[in-house]
Chain A
Amino acid sequence: MTQYVSIDHQTATTALFADSDLLDEIRSVLKRPDLGDDVLLSALASSPAARHGIYPVTTAQQDRAAFIRTLPVPAPSHGLEMPQHDLNPPLALRFAPLVALWHRALQPLAPQLKRVPVPAKDR
């Protein structure tokens, strides 16, 4: 049966749990090995039960697991990059591939398009 103790609200949660294996147990129950000690201690301190000064001190594993599953732990921290796409780019940027294609198409004709220098033409 679960037993509860009332503790002084100011009592450091750290003192209550730091020496126990509870932190590892929390990681195991929640399947969250990424959660650090400080994060868990903060979650323990801010848990609804803890705010009412109530902690289970039972040794029954399932009761501890039930308590653990009420802890407000933070979401996994694994962000993705989200590049911003410009959906209305300026015309110069939009037609840049076409301009490049045009230049490439003109390249074989480029030597013929070169102007003949004036003195040479006169000769």
Chain B
Amino acid sequence: MKKAGSEAWSTAFRRLAMAVIALCLTTGASYMFAIVVQSDGFDWLDIIRIALMAIASFWLAWGGCIALFGILFPTEERAKSGDFPEGRTAILLPIYNEATGPVYARLEAIMKSVATLPAADRFDFFVLSDTTKDDVGEAEQRAYEQLLVRQNAGGRLFYRRREQNIGRKAGNIADFLTTSGGAYEYMLVLDADSLMDGKTILEMVRRMEADPRLGLLQSLPQIIGLSTLFGRLLQFATGLYGPYFARGLAAVQGEEGTFWGHNALIRTRAFAAACGMAPLTGKPPFGGHILSHDTVEAALLARDGWKVRLDPDLTGSYEEAPANMVDYAKRDRRWCQGNLQHSRILAAPRFRFWSRISILQGVFAYLASPIWCVFLLASLAAPLVAPPPVYFDGHSPFPVFPHPETTTALALLFGLVALLILPKLLLVARALLGGNSADFGGPARLLISFVLEILLTSILAPIHMMFHCRSVFQVLTGADSGWPTADRDDGSLPISAAFSATWWMSIAGAGAIAFSHSYAPEMFYWLLPVALPLVAAPLLVWMTASVMLGKVTKKLGLFQVPTESAPVEVAEDMRLALAEKAAA
């Protein structure tokens, strides 16, 4: 274990190295692109395109560096206290109109897992309901009473329902702190779809007790329980690449780490003193209560001198995720509004430098798509405004032909593709050489899954881009066109819902192809990898939401993740609890 001073220096060095590498790659890509675009003459649109390319390639390079640093810098061993923590911990489950059965089944599984610990009596459980629907609220109350009796949890399990959900989840947690927070040293914040192993919870408490300056400890949740093709793809990607990206993030974030809003242990007094947030002046989307509060809370803790740390080696932490692209886009729409709202607090007083970078990253996560989209549109328009070629420049009696830049263009293309694929390829190679390919179905299946994942994510990327663009547009204009209601328990989508969510993409894709064919034929083939998936968006969204295709990949051993090869005990307990409830 390193001393605090040297740890701070190595974090600063890593940040500098990452910034230098990303800037070098960006400069290289921008320079090459500038050479390519000036081959037919230089105009104002080219300047815009080069600027957009520079921003977008910096974003790609930054992501690549995070993965690279994840390989280079393994997680350090952390200090921990004894098996019996001194402080008490409140395990908080904030819920809002959620399906009662699965929520309580997860809670029961966590309670069972905690009950096996020698220090089980140091943990209490709180269901903090913000539910607005009365029938759901009544079901929650009934489920609470049943769980209380089943687990003999009187005095350890509490249920509270707020009349008004002021401040949403942040307000819900604040309400707990201002009523009962003083009785606990630590609080473990969960989400309605969170699952955590008791041993991991205890390990987190021990690490926090060993470091009195640690204000927040974030675990790395793994995605489980998805059965659609899209869900399995997501599970595989986060299972294989996620730990390394998290290690890379932890390596550069250091003590100004991240908070993802759930599956994290927090020092209650530090949080209460530092993380109260006054609503922003003005109306939503940029005013009112601060959304996506987790990033801001991490920044506030760091501002007050508390360590905020992501420990990627904390396994035994799970969550579920949207099972199809429409649900994924719905969630992104919420996060997009919150992250864009953060642009107003980017210059908040006393924030640490890296906290501001993290907030900026959050904003940029959603602005990157519109930047790519504008870049594509500008590239489509560029041939229209390009000056006609000048063959006789007046200096020579012979015609001077424009210098072809095909080699540079291809080098740039391969460079950008490499930025996207190379980090993943390195991680796959590491899994193959490191001997843990068996967790992903063996070497052959891992390789096939990797190739399929690259192909599918590349095909689906334009659809994600369009969803993001729409979200940003809606946030900026205050509009919300609504989403199709097609909530199925297994996460699949009817074709009508897929069409209703993406018909406009098909029109946009077809329009772009037609425009390119008529007015910018030199861009035609370059545009197809983006435009064709958009034309086929309803079909792709529907197919990737298919449980049958998901089952086929499972049967073939594709997109396998470690949690499938070694079943998760707490997830099994949850399934049992859910089955018991269904039978009752």
List chain B residues, Cβ under 8 A from A120: none
Complex interface: stretch among B67-75, B265-273, B317-325, B402-410: B265-273
List chain B residues, Cβ under 8 A from A72: 144-145, 148, 154, 159
A21 on interface, CB distance cutoff 8 Å? no
Beta-carbon contact of B277 and A30 below 8 Å: no
Beta-carbon contact of A48 and B183 below 8 Å: no
Beta-carbon contact of B174 and A88 below 8 Å: no
Contact of B174 among A48, A70, A82 (CB under 8 A): A82
Beta-carbon contact of A79 and B349 below 8 Å: no
| Chain A residues proximal to chain B, CB less than 8 Å | 29-32, 48-49, 66, 68-89, 94
B178 on interface, CB distance cutoff 8 Å? yes
A48–B274 Cα distance when bound, in Å, is 40
Task: Give the A-B contact count at a CB cut-off of 8 A.
Answer: 99
List chain B residues, Cβ under 8 A from A70: 148-149, 152, 154
List chain B residues, Cβ under 8 A from A78: 180-183
| Chain B interface size, under 10 / 10 to 19 / 20 to 34 / 35 or more | 35 or more
CB B281 to nearest CB in A, in angstroms, measures 7
17 contacts across the A-B interface (CB closer than 8 A): A31-B155, A32-B155, A48-B148, A48-B149, A70-B152, A75-B124, A75-B179, A76-B180, A78-B180, A78-B183, A80-B177, A80-B178, A80-B273, A81-B272, A81-B273, A82-B174, A82-B275
A83–B274 Cα distance when bound, in Å, is 8
Given the contacts A79-B181, A83-B273, A74 and B348 also touching, CB distance less than 8 Å:
no
List chain A residues, Cβ under 8 A from B153: 69
Top-6 shortest CB links A-B: A30-B155, A78-B182, A76-B183, A69-B152, A80-B272, A84-B278
A88–B341 Cα distance when bound, in Å, is 11
CB B351 to nearest CB in A, in angstroms, measures 9
**Per-residue interface assignment for chain B, residues 267 to 297, with 1 indicating a CB less than 8 Å from any chain A CB and 0 otherwise:** 0110011111110110000000010000010
Beta-carbon contact of A79 and B180 below 8 Å: yes
Beta-carbon contact of B180 and A48 below 8 Å: no
List chain A residues, Cβ under 8 A from B155: 29-32, 69, 71, 73
A72–B272 Cα distance when bound, in Å, is 27
List chain B residues, Cβ under 8 A from A82: 174, 177-178, 272-273, 275-276
Q: A69-B152, A87-B349 are in contact. List 13 more A-B contacts (CB 8 A).
A: A68-B154, A70-B154, A75-B180, A76-B182, A77-B179, A78-B181, A78-B182, A80-B177, A81-B178, A81-B272, A82-B174, A82-B178, A85-B277
B158 on interface, CB distance cutoff 8 Å? yes
List chain A residues, Cβ under 8 A from B181: 78-80
CB B185 to nearest CB in A, in angstroms, measures 12
Given the contacts A73-B154, A85-B277, A85-B278, A80 and B148 also touching, CB distance less than 8 Å:
no
A46–B348 Cα distance when bound, in Å, is 48
A85–B290 Cα distance when bound, in Å, is 12
Beta-carbon contact of B182 and A80 below 8 Å: yes
